[in-house]
């Protein structure tokens, strides 16, 4: 499924395009066919959408149990932290989590909460950062990420920054490229 998703440029597919592909997976005897032996049609549909394909985006971030199955992915939380906080900072081990993607960053003295995602989830990022801001002595940070094929206009960037500033959090934009997944496992 991930190989097909790569070929289709999943993240750039229109919603009808995604729906059509969900249906193809459902109809595929090797995918939907296998799954239907264990669950109802409706459950199979939901599973395809909510488990592997929701994990696909997270796996590309290097987060979750499905990381070993994507061929290419982003560099991971280190890239975010070092871009946002500086080269001396690193990710606090075991602190990377999703919903939204976030981690703790440290320079050995202080720790900061950093969360990141696409511009479309800015609302969630701000809410998460605000919740940290009232509990934490350091300013939390938000990184809006783009990938090849995505651009954000200057006007939108400025608005993001003003929104963050208004809320007392820091925000920056990062365009990332993918690398071959170092954790890829192949079954053949």
Partner 1 sequence: MSEGQYINVMPHPRILGVLGDIEFAAWQCLAELVDNAFDVFQSSPETGGERPTVSISLPTAQDSRSTAEVTVQDNGRGMSLDEVRNAISAGWSGNGRHGALGLFGMGFNIATARLGRKTVVRTGRSCDSYWTEVTLDLPQIEASAAYQAPYRQVPKANPVEHGTVITISDLKGEQFEALRRPNALKVIREKLGDVYSYLLTERGFRLTINGKKLPPRKPCVWDEKRTVTRRGVEISAVQRIDVPLSDKKACMACGYWNPLDVDRCRECDQDRLEVRSRRIWGWLGIQRYVHRTDYGIDFLRNGRKILLKDKRVFYWTDEDGLGEPELEYPIDSKAATGRIVGEIHCDHVTPNYQKTAFEFETAEWHQVLRAIRGESPLRPEIAKRRQLPENDSPLALLYSGFRRQDPGLNYLVPGNGKEAIHEKTVQWAKLFRDDHPDYQSDDIWYEAAYSHDHPHQNDPGSDSDSDTDELLPGLGPVTPGEEDDDQEVPGAEDVPSADDPAPTETFEQRLQRYRDNADQFPDLAGEYLIPEMGRIELRVWAVRDQRLTNAKDQETPAFAIMLRSPRLEVFVDSDHPLYREHGADMRDIALLEAAEYMRVRQNDNSTPLSQLLLLFKERSSSPLLTPTAMADEAERLLERIRTLMAPVIAETPAVHWLQLRADEREAAEERFALESEPGLDWTEAVNNGDFIRFAPASAVLRVISESPALFMDGKVFRRSYAALSASDARDLIVERLMNPLSDLALLAQHRPKVTPEELGRIRVSCRLIARDLADDS
Interface positions with partner 1 (CB under 8 A): 9, 12-14, 16-17, 20, 23-24, 26-27, 29, 72, 79, 83, 148-155, 174-180
**Which is closer to partner 1, CB of 136 or CB of 146?**
146
**Which is closer to partner 1, CB of 6 or CB of 97?**
6
The distance of closest approach from Cβ of residue 96 to partner 1 in the complex, given in angstroms and rounded to an integer, is 19
A 10 A CB-CB count for 173 gives 16
The distance of closest approach from Cβ of residue 6 to partner 1 in the complex, given in angstroms and rounded to an integer, is 9
CA–CA gap between residue 83 and residue 149 (Å, rounded)? 21
CA–CA gap between residue 127 and residue 124 (Å, rounded)? 5
**Which is closer to partner 1, CB of 14 or CB of 109?**
14
**Which is closer to partner 1, CB of 109 or CB of 186?**
186
Backbone angles phi, psi at 182, to 5 degrees: -70, -20
The distance of closest approach from Cβ of residue 103 to partner 1 in the complex, given in angstroms and rounded to an integer, is 17
**What is residue 99's three-state secondary structure?**
coil
**What is residue 169's three-state secondary structure?**
coil
Query: Which candidate, 77, 109, 123, places its Cα nearest to that of 96?
Result: 77
The distance of closest approach from Cβ of residue 137 to partner 1 in the complex, given in angstroms and rounded to an integer, is 26
């Amino acid at each position: 499924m991930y190989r097909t998703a790569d070929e289709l440029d999943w993240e750039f597919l229109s919603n009808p395009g995604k729906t059509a592909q969900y249906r193809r997976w459902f109809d595929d005897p090797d995918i939907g066919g296998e799954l239907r032996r264990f669950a109802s049609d409706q459950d199979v549909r939901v599973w395809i959408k909510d488990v592997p394909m929701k994990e696909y985006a997270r796996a590309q971030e290097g987060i979750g149990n499905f990381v070993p199955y994507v061929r290419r992915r982003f560099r991971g939380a280190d890239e975010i932290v070092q871009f946002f906080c500086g080269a001396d900072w690193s990710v606090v081990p075991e602190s990377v989590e999703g919903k939204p993607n976030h981690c703790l960053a440290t320079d050995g003295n202080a720790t900061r909460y950093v969360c990141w995602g696409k511009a479309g989830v800015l609302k969630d990022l701000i809410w998460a950062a605000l919740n940290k801001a009232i509990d934490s002595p350091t300013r939390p940070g938000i990184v809006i990420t783009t990938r090849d094929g995505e651009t954000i206009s200057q006007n939108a960037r400025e608005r993001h920054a003003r929104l963050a500033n208004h809320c007392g959090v820091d925000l920056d934009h990062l365009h990332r490229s993918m690398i071959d997944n170092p954790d890829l496992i192949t079954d053949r």
